[in-house]
């Protein structure tokens, strides 16, 4: 009888040990910290980023109107297809007599601005200043991706074939002489390094000219 009880006790201990052994690795795995997923940068066209900033501008001033939009070239995007991970805009308010800059960021670079929309310090607005001529958002009917396609047909394609990583950035502003909202598609990392500048009508998508 004692031998039977002893045998049963051994079996019970063996089963208990096996169960605890199976649970131990699982517990160890669950205790491991979850690896953070690497977030990919967000690339927006000019109009997509502009819409984000436009809402913030109207929270600042109900009568806010944009006067400029430009992309920022960085390591995450060469600017092809009209997209970038950082865009800047400027808005003017006649009622406040003020100017305010806004920035949209989808960048994941360590030194990049925080994701989403941020704003700068309010400045004084002079309606007669030609560099801050405000325009109606409704004039922006052609996005930066279409402006890029037009620019390719007027010299940009040759630069891209020569250098597939050719940097491109975009500037949108109002042309008072021709009374036209204009995309300036600039092939270069900055204004000084530009190899080609193509002006495109931001309302119709039509080619305007190659700028000097």
In a domain, 150, yes or no: yes
User: What is the CB-side half-sphere exposure of residue 134 using CA atoms within 13 A?
Assistant: 21
In a domain, 63, yes or no: yes
Angstrom distance (rounded) from CA 115 to CA 29:
33
Instruction: Categorize the per-residue pLDDT at 85 as very low, low, confident or very high, splitting at 50, 70 and 90.
Output: very high
Angstrom distance (rounded) from CA 70 to CA 132:
14
**80 vs 128, which has greater pLDDT?**
80
Tokens of 86: 């950082």
Find, among 175, 201, 161, the residue nearest to 80 by Cα: 161
SS3 90: strand
In a domain, 42, yes or no: no
pLDDT at residue 179 greater than cutoff 70: yes
Domain that holds residue 82: 47-211
| Mean pLDDT, residues 146-153 taken together | 98
Number of domains in the chain: 1
In a domain, 77, yes or no: yes
In a domain, 114, yes or no: yes
In a domain, 38, yes or no: no
Query: 52-72: per-residue pLDDT in tens?
Result: 999 999 999 999 999 999 999
In a domain, 200, yes or no: yes
Query: 199-208: per-residue pLDDT in tens?
Result: 999 999 999 9
Predicted local distance difference test score (pLDDT) of residue 28: 43
Angstrom distance (rounded) from CA 197 to CA 185:
6
Predicted local distance difference test score (pLDDT) of residue 135: 96
In a domain, 19, yes or no: no
């Amino acid at each position: 009888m004692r031998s039977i009880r002893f045998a049963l006790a051994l079996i019970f201990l063996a089963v208990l040990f096996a169960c605890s052994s199976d649970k131990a690795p699982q517990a160890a795995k669950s205790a491991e910290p979850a690896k953070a997923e690497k977030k990919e940068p967000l690339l927006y066209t000019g109009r997509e980023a502009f819409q984000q900033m436009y809402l913030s501008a109207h929270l600042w001033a109900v009568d806010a109107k944009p006067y400029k939009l430009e992309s920022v070239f960085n390591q995450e995007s060469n600017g092809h297809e009209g997209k970038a991970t950082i865009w800047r805009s400027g808005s003017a308010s006649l009622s406040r007599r003020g100017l305010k800059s806004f920035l949209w960021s989808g960048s994941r670079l360590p030194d990049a601005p925080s994701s989403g929309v941020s704003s700068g310090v309010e400045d004084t607005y002079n309606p007669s200043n030609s560099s801050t001529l405000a325009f109606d958002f409704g004039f922006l009917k052609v996005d930066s991706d279409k402006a890029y396609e037009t620019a390719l047909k007027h010299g940009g394609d040759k630069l891209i074939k020569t250098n597939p990583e050719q940097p491109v950035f975009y500037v949108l502003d109002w042309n008072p002489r021709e009374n036209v909202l204009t995309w300036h598609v600039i092939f270069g990392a900055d204004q000084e390094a530009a190899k080609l500048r193509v002006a495109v009508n931001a309302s119709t998508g039509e080619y305007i000219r190659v700028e000097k």
